[in-house]
Amino acid sequence: MRGTGVASLATLERGTGGPYVSMITVATETDGTPLFLISNLALHTRNLQADPRASILFVAGNELQDPLALGRVSVMGHAEKAETGLARTRFLARHPEAEVYAGFADFAIWRLRVDKGHFVGGFGRIGTIAGDQLVRKDTALSAWEAEISRVLNDVNARYGSRLAQLAAQRGHKAGDWRLAACDPEGGELLSAGTAIRLVFAEPILDLAGIPQALERLAALNDARN
């Protein structure tokens, strides 16, 4: 869910109750709750306004594999508007190109409150997952969200060269890279409209551990190269 930028949204068609599936761009909140930006003019938005029940299908991307062998999870729950600045920041950190229209009056960030998920990890690997196993419930997350803006400013001021190194390790050119968002599993590097998802070697819950997680990630990438 953290690593997927595009997903399929299933809603119930207003008036008929029939299934309707559309493509959306996605990000996640700090706890892993899915976020998406949609227009009031879109059919799926009108469907959600009438009935908030929805499902999002996330598929692991790998063009070299048999699609049916790829991991995927259908997340089921109830959609609602996410009217917070942090939700907007996290979505645009993942999809900077969306800033062009994110400020339009007819667009809004929505979240899917997760009830459960259905996971398929390939042939023979299938199971239902409770919502609290898909979305973090750690009490430390409230402190994380209160302090993350300050910590990101500090990280960007002190570790600019390390962030540029992490971008270069992923084949991107030099630039003014900054950590635009961060969660326990990783963060988004951003420069001139390009976003890169970083995945930490292991999850962290202490904000003070972000610099060390970046250092370890850079060292692991160096070792692989």
pLDDT at 223: 64
pLDDT at 175: 85
Q: What structural domains and CATH numbers belong to the chain?
A: 6-134 (2.30.110.10), 140-224 (3.20.180.10)
pTM over 0.85: yes
Query: For residue 172, with 0-12 CB atoms within 10 Å meaning exposed, 13-18 middle and 19 or more buried, which class applies?
Result: middle
Q: Which residue in this structure is represented by tokens 């879109």?
A: 42
pLDDT at 139: 83
pLDDT at 63: 65
DSSP letters spanning 106-144: TEEEEEEEEEEEEEE-STT-EEEEEHHHHS---THHHHH
pLDDT at 125: 86
Pairing of strands 186-191, 107-120: unpaired
Question: For residue 30, what are its two tokens?
Answer: 């700090």
Gap between the Cα atoms of 111 and 98, Å rounded: 16
pLDDT at 176: 92
What are the mean pLDDT values of the chain's consecutive 10-residue runs (225 residues total)?
Answer: 95 97 97 97 97 96 75 96 94 95 94 97 87 89 93 95 92 91 96 93 93 91 65
Gap between the Cα atoms of 64 and 34, Å rounded: 27
